[in-house]
Structure 1
């Protein structure tokens, strides 16, 4: 009889791991605490509107293609992709914005219009970023973070200096125009740290942005979750929702089962795609690898205040993805990373999927998602949420020259308390642990428990790190590690 693997959680990394392990011949069951699968990538439907609750950016399409090709499938077998043009726009003030289009040539033109000579500098910068991308995404990130030697290859040795400089230094060395600097520094925010704390090597995110482009799956990012669910079920995976975990059972130093609200499940191996810190609290103290002091010293990616808004009219002067950088980025970053507090004047991001996709809003109406990055662990009250909604909508109306407040049909919010309640997220963080130099690769929490045999972890608090493509990769890495250490 094949060994039974229990997987905690049903986000991208868990679904990915389940597919690889089922394909290898294991009996695989997923236990999900919420009513629907997807982890942070769930969906909200209301009054004919559809919102992605979590991720809204589809970057690095090659990672998705590689995942599905491992099962002789293609993304197009499950969902249709559209390359966005424009990819996004960035507001710097009233009616003052830069639009990032769908090819590098068009983006170079936009740069040249801002700063003479910057198109040539951008060309050189993106060539280096592509070189980093080819090393990182095709090679490095598919290592399990077991040893420092994983980072030592003939290719990475030529890039060594890039691990000791930062994105901020590199960008500002070449570009003087503050608006262009902000655009080039923006992608690393997906890695959960300030540009001044992010190694230069991570410029591969700029290639993901300008070189590969931004895509939208028809009907939203949740279609990727549904695709992975379908694939998992085709491979024989069982998924059980509304099954919160109370305890991981350890016998003689080995993980042997899980106690949920409903029942006790026996297993040969356990993989947790749930929050790493929370998962360790499901173990008796002697079996936990990392102390509270360890977690408290780590740099976590931001949390977020999100609003899902239905408008009774179409909005103007915005694109599918629109960034609002009309306030000081450094002051907001300080409120996230250095002196955690609610920012006085926050940057924010807005997504209007109905600009591209008619399925996300009724005809003549607009679906809007607004996101403010926040420090994890802050106080979160209905009054604070309401005050920040009014704050960003007032600015939105001013910089885009339109009135929208009176056109709100409904709004729902999601913030720190919800990240804790729905995902057991450490301090309510949204994106996991930041990819700083001291939290890269083998320096991140391990995929394999050092204290409990047969217990593994996957997702954005372990390797490779935050984001949807890294989560897909994390599922493969943990599956490969299990196949290496266990026989069927």
Structure 2
């Protein structure tokens, strides 16, 4: 008889884990609390406008390809990718923006026009970033995070200084232009930490940016969810939506199943891709690994205030991905990490997928997605949301030299309260734990419960960290950990627990 596995949540990590486990021969069922699959990667549709509600950047295409290759499939079997050119655009002031091309040669030329001599240092920086990327992706990020030994290799020993220096120090050694420095420090935002707290080894994200480029799946990021769901079901995975798990039932230090409403759903193994902190609240206190004090001391990546806006005209002077860095990054970061609160003048990001993909908006109209990074756990009210929309839309108009407020057909907001309500997200965080040195690899919450042998975790609060590609990798790590602990031929009832 197959070992049965219940997976809580249906985000990228859960879907990935389900595919690997089903392929290995386990009987896998996913239980999702919401009415759609994908976790944070959902879609909002209104009046023929379409919005990706969660992730909107497609970076590290090799990780997606590697995932599907593990099942003798290709990305192109499921969706079509377009490489964006420009990859993105950055505004620094009124009518003052820089477009980042889809290739390093053009990017170097852009750097050179802003600061003479900077292209040489950029090349040197990207050479190191590429090396780090190969080390990270081909080896380190697939480790289960059990001990420091996983990080000790001849390569990492020879480059150990990169773990104790920061991205900020590295990029500021030679380049002086604040514009170029902000562009180089921007990718670590995907890791959810300040550049001065992010180890310089994570420059591999700059290679993901300048070396591998920014892509768009036709139809949007939800196409990845659909692809993974299709693959999972083809492997025999059962996916059940509207199944909100209220308790993980434990008997004799073993998880025997989960409670959904008044029903006990039994399983040999439980894997949670839901918020790690929330998952532990589904256990009796004596089975929880981490205290509230532990979680409160952790450095979380930001939450977000999001606006989904339908415009009745095409928006000018912007790209598919447009960043607005006309504000002081360090002052904004202080209000996220050091003194949590609403920033006076936030940086923000705008996404206009209908520039690339006309399926996102009716003809001659535009889909706009605006995002302000904010501290998790701060006050979230309709009045605050409205004031910040007014603030950024006025800046947007001034910076891009156009009037858009009277062309808004509708707008919907999404913030901390919604992340908590929809995803049981700790303090309403959007991206999980920040990848700072003290929260890297073996220092993150564990894949396997230390108190319940047949309970496992996956997702952005465990290894390797935040982002869609790391979530796919986390699912693979969790599946591998389960297979090592409970090989498919094992009669789980006869296991001697440690």
TM normalised by structure 1 equals 1.00
SS in 1 for 2:265: strand
* Whole-angstrom CA distance in 1 between matches of 2:477 and 2:246: 26
Once the two structures are superposed, residues 369-427 of structure 1 have per-residue CA deviations (whole angstroms, 9 ceiling, x without a partner) of 00000000000000000000000000000000000000000101100000000000000
Deviation of residue 263 (structure 1)? 2.2
Question: What TM-score, normalized by structure 2, do the two folds share?
Answer: 0.98
Measured in 2, the distance between the counterparts of 1:429 and 1:363 equals: 35
- Unaligned 5+ segments in structure 2 are 489-498
Q: Cα distance, 1:262 vs. partner?
A: 5.5
Match of 2:493 in 1: none
Tell me the residue number matched to 1:134. 134
Contact between 1:243 and 1:262, CA under 8 Å: does it hold in 2? no
Question: In the TM superposition, what whole-angstrom CA distance separates every residue of 1:16-47 from its partner, at most 9, and x where no partner exists?
Answer: 00000000000000000001011010110110
Residue 156 of structure 1, CA deviation: 1.1
1:40 aligns with 2:54: no
Matched-pair contact (CA < 8 Å) for 1:6–1:30: yes
Question: Aligned partners of 2:405, 2:137: CA distance in 1, in Å?
Answer: 42
What is residue 315 of structure 1 aligned with on the other side? Answer: 315
Q: Secondary structure at the match of 1:72?
A: coil
1:206 equivalenced with 2:199 (yes/no): no
Moved over 4 A (4+): none
SS in 2 for 1:255: strand
1:234 and 2:230 correspond: no
Cα deviation 1:406-464 (Å, max 9, x = unaligned): 00001011000000000000000000000000000000000000001200000000000
Write out aligned runs for 1:255-334 (5 A). Answer: 255-261=255-261, 263-334=263-334
In structure 1, the partner of 2:444 is: 444
Tell me what 1:433 maps to: 433
Report which stretch shifted further, 151-160 or 279-288: 151-160
1:477 equivalenced with 2:477 (yes/no): yes
Provide the residue aligned with 2:157 in structure 1.
157
Structure 2 match to 1:396:
396
| Unaligned residue ranges in structure 1 (runs of 5+) | none
- Deviation sequence 1:198-252 (CA, Å, 0-9, x none): 0000000000000000000000000000000000000000000011111000010
Tell me the SS of whatever aligns to 2:144. Answer: coil
Per-residue deviation at 1:264?
1.6
By how many angstroms is 1:487 displaced?
2.2
SS at match of 2:349: strand
Distance in 2 (alpha carbons) for counterparts of 1:482 and 1:33:
23
Q: Deviations over 1:128-151 (max 9, x none)?
A: 000000000111001000111110
1:194 equivalent in alignment to 2:175: no
1:333-373 per-position Cα deviation (integer Å, ceiling 9, x unaligned): 00000000000000000000000000000111000000000
**Aligned position for 2:75:** 75
- Any idea what the Cα deviations from partners look like across 1:182-203, whole Å, max 9, x if unmatched? 0000000100000000000000
Alignment RMSD: 0.5
Distance 2:366 2:174 in 1: 39
Q: Which whole-Å CA distance do the structure 1 matches of 2:212 and 2:247 have between them?
A: 43
Residue of structure 2 equivalent to 1:172: 172
- Matched length: 488
Secondary structure of the residue aligned to 1:387 is helix
Q: 1: CA distance between counterparts of 2:486 and 2:91?
A: 52
1:66 aligns with 2:73: no
Q: Please give the alpha-carbon distance, in whole angstroms, between the structure 2 residues aligned to 1:428 and 1:485.
A: 33
The whole-number CA distance in structure 1 between the counterparts of 2:52 and 2:260 is 28
- Contact 1:12–1:39 (8 Å) recurs in 2: yes
| Residue in structure 1 matched with residue 14 of structure 2 by the alignment | 14
CA distance in 2, matches of 1:187, 1:363: 33
Q: Which position in structure 2 is the counterpart of 1:457?
A: 457
- SS of the residue 2:172 aligns to: helix
Q: Distance in 2 between matches of 1:174 and 1:294?
A: 39
> How far apart are the structure 2 equivalents of 1:62 and 1:327?
34
Give SS of 1:107's match. Answer: helix
Partners in 1 of 2:114 and 2:129 — Cα distance?
21
**C-alpha deviations, 1:301-325, integer Å up to 9, x for none?**
0000000000000000000000000
Pairing of 1:74-93 with structure 2 (within 5 A): 74-93=74-93
Residues 40-75 of structure 1: CA distance to partner in whole angstroms, max 9, x if unpaired? 101101100110000000000000000000000001
